[in-house]
Copies of this chain bind each other. A is one copy, B any other.
Amino acid sequence: MATRISIEDFDALGRAEIPFVELLGYRVDAMDEGVATVRAPYDERFLRPGGTISGPVLMGLADYASYAAILSRIGNVPMAVTTNLNINFLKRPTPGDVTATARVIKLGKRLAVCDVFVHGDTDAASPVAHVTTTYSLPPY
């Protein structure tokens, strides 16, 4: 089945309503029902000691990918909000784009849960982070 919000509409929502998204340059690569891939194009401001991408860039990206994946299931419901996020950093991402692919693994009336993998473009083989997110949903 198809996503219940188009990439264009989701991108417009993100840019209009979430300045953080605009600030970091996140954009949607792909959306399908229950799954979304979001990209953070490389930016020198993302670096931290050791020449790797800063953790909050990855956390924000995984959170945004989850938001996209959930809205792909429930439609344009901006007030879905994160209640829990757990991230394991698996290896140091080298400078370059990073993408997060979120998949909805539970969609209830009040809560949704996503499983998210974050990859660096320079090494697609193994993820740089794994994230789980929980969203609280308004009536939809």
Contacts and interface: CB of A to CB of B under 8 A. Distances in A.
Contacts of A1: none
Interface in A13-30: 13, 17-20, 22-23
A139 interface: no
Copies of the protein in its oligomer: 4
A110 B108 CA distance: 13
* A-side interface mostly: mixed
A134 B78 CA distance: 23
Contacts of A90: 105-106, 113
Contact of A63 (B17, B55, B84): B55
Contacts of A91: 106, 108
A39 interface: no
Given A20-B45, A59-B63, A88-B134, 13 more contacts: A17-B49, A19-B44, A19-B47, A20-B54, A56-B63, A81-B89, A83-B89, A83-B111, A84-B86, A84-B134, A85-B85, A90-B106, A105-B130
